[in-house]
Every structure is written in C-alpha cells, then in structure tokens.
Amino acid sequence: MSLLNDTEKVESLISILDNHIDKLPHEDSFANYLETIRFFLKTKDPIIQKSAVSTSSILIENVAYNLYTKINLRQAAGTLIGAFDKVGYTDAVDTAAVILKFEELLQQMSAEEAINVYVDRWRTEEKSL
C-alpha cells in the first residue's frame, strides 16, 4: 500500500466503515455509532458534522453501558453457578437451564427493573424471617 494523502485516507476509512457496518446487525448500537462517524467523514456541512459528533457521543455512552451491563450479567451468572455449587446441586443440565433462563430474564430487564426486583425480593425475605 502506497502512502495516501488525507483525502484518500478519509475515502479509505469511509469504505472500511461501510464494510464493517454491513457486517453488524441492523439497528445495533455499535453499528449506529459507526454510522455517525461515517456521516461525519462524508459531509462537508458543519451542522451535520456537529450533529454526528453529538450523536456519536450519546451512542458510545449507550454502547459502553451495554458492555458494562453484559459484564455484570456474566458476573451474576458466575455467582449463580457458585451458589448452585455451594448448596451441592449436582444436576449440571438443570443448573445450566436455570442459569440460561436467569441470563435471559436479566437481559430483558433494565438495570432499574433488576434492582427493583432484587430490593423487593430481599424485603420480602426479611419480612418472612
């Protein structure tokens, strides 16, 4: 590859982004983030560029939040596995099914809903003791 001038670099980057965006699921937060960068690079309109930068900032915050949440889901699933192990639950197939259902339910909830379920559950538990 020969040395590219700035215009060629931008055109090459737009092409790379096109290819990457095509490989991602549509309506995916990360794909939308890449799309805003592509808009920024394609236009010479300062209003569209400013809008693309603002939108990309919001989208990357959402992507970061989603990644953080997924890491927490893995940690929660790991804790659940540890709890099954600690109580001596030995049926691996049943344990896996429960954990998969647990992950599925957590992914459907917002962080606020998950916290509310947790708080409601432990308040109920404390009252019954």
pLDDT in tens, 11-57: 999 999 999 998 988 778 888 899 999 999 999 999 999 999 999 99
Q: Are 102 and 84 in contact (CB under 8 A)?
A: no
Residue 1, domain member (yes or no): no
pLDDT greater than 60 at residue 126:
no
The total domain count for the chain is 1
Residue 95, domain member (yes or no): yes
Structure tokens at 128: 């019954």
Residue 110, domain member (yes or no): yes
Look up the domain containing 42 and give its range: 6-128
Confidence of residue 89 (pLDDT cuts 50, 70, 90): confident
27, 42, 57, 84 from 15: Cα distances, Å: 20, 10, 22, 49
pTM for the full predicted model: 0.53
